Amino acid sequence: MLAVAFLALLLGLIVGSFLNVVIHRLPRGESLASPPSRCPSCEQRVSPRDNVPVVSWLVLRGRCRHCGVAISRRYPLVEALTGLLYLAVVLALWDDGRDVALGIALVTLLVPMTFIDLDTRTIPNRLLAPFAVIALALGLAFDPGFVPEQLIAGAAAFSFFLLAAVARPGGMGMGDVKLAGVLGLYLGRAVAPAIFIGLIAGVLVGGVIMARVGAAAGRRTTVPFGPFLALGATISLFVGAELVDSYVDTF
């Protein structure tokens, strides 16, 4: 178990390094494969020894080896976050291969989606579409009986957010609508608490913003909703099914 946990952490760190490339290049329509990673200031290619997740950034004290320009803290943050989430998925869902596979794939989607949405206020179709296919492929591979629940949950979440977007134009982007549908494919019925948690978190943050800048200015402040959905989805990945069961047993 320790060996598997270590491998999960290591894999997450490596994938997180690639996700930094996705976050930077995907919104710009650039290739994810080429050119190799370079310093944005001096354009020197990053050598393998300077591309070790987290460690290289710490060794270089957050600066380019060649020109000394500061390297954003986001790079080690994304790598460490992805590694820790991979580790958490394996440790928490160890006894269910389907949940581990879907959890790893979901985390790999949520990390770049969150940072891209924070940067650009968009959630690219180029990110959502392949992960929707991956969710269904994993469902078919590990548990074909789960696929109907995936499809129903995805359609329900998509429809719920689509109605919200139509009812209040400008309040909800189509990227959020499509993201909700994809989350349903990964979480099944646990997408319900994910949406609820995301909405509550969004309301709380909106309240804080209004308290600081005033109600009028707060309403004009644009806050991406994708990160809140990502938070809800991450929590539901680990405890969503239990929350649904508890609710059903109670009511």
Examine the domain organization and report whether 72 and 177 are in the same domain. Answer: no
Given 51, 77, 92, the domain boundary residue is 92
Examine the domain organization and report whether 61 and 76 are in the same domain. Answer: yes
Based on the structure, what is the number of domains in the chain? 2
Q: For the whole model, what pTM was predicted?
A: 0.93
Gap between the Cα atoms of 205 and 69, Å rounded: 34
Q: What pLDDT is recorded for position 218?
A: 66
DSSP at 48: G
Residues ≥6 apart with Cβ < 8 Å to 129: none
Examine the domain organization and report whether 182 and 61 are in the same domain. Answer: no
What b/e readout covers 149-169, taking b as 16+ CB neighbours within 10 angstroms?
Answer: bbeebbebbbebbbeebeeee
Gap between the Cα atoms of 78 and 29, Å rounded: 20
Residues ≥6 apart with Cβ < 8 Å to 5: 87, 90, 91
Given 60, 92, 124, the domain boundary residue is 92
Examine the domain organization and report whether 31 and 143 are in the same domain. Answer: no
- Name the packing angle between helices 226-250 and 174-187 (round to 10°): 40
Examine the domain organization and report whether 85 and 120 are in the same domain. Answer: no
Examine the domain organization and report whether 199 and 181 are in the same domain. Answer: yes
Given 92, 108, 127, the domain boundary residue is 92
User: Which parts of the chain register pLDDT below 70?
Assistant: 218, 251
Distance from chain centroid for Cα 11: 16
Examine the domain organization and report whether 46 and 112 are in the same domain. Answer: no
Examine the domain organization and report whether 80 and 128 are in the same domain. Answer: no
Q: What pLDDT is recorded for position 35?
A: 83
Q: What pLDDT is recorded for position 66?
A: 85
pLDDT digits (tens, 9 = 90+) for 30-54: 999 888 888 877 878 888 888 899 9
What b/e readout covers 112-125, taking b as 16+ CB neighbours within 10 angstroms?
Answer: bbbbbbeeeeebbe
- Domain enclosing residue 14, as ranges: 1-92
Examine the domain organization and report whether 125 and 209 are in the same domain. Answer: yes
Examine the domain organization and report whether 142 and 231 are in the same domain. Answer: yes
Examine the domain organization and report whether 135 and 247 are in the same domain. Answer: yes
Give me the DSSP letters along 172-211.
Answer: S-HHHHHHHHHHHHHHGGGHHHHHHHHHHHHHHHHHHHHH
43: left (phi over 0), alpha (psi -120 to 50) or beta: left
Examine the domain organization and report whether 165 and 225 are in the same domain. Answer: yes
pLDDT digits (tens, 9 = 90+) for 110-125: 999 999 999 999 999 9
Q: What pLDDT is recorded for position 199?
A: 93
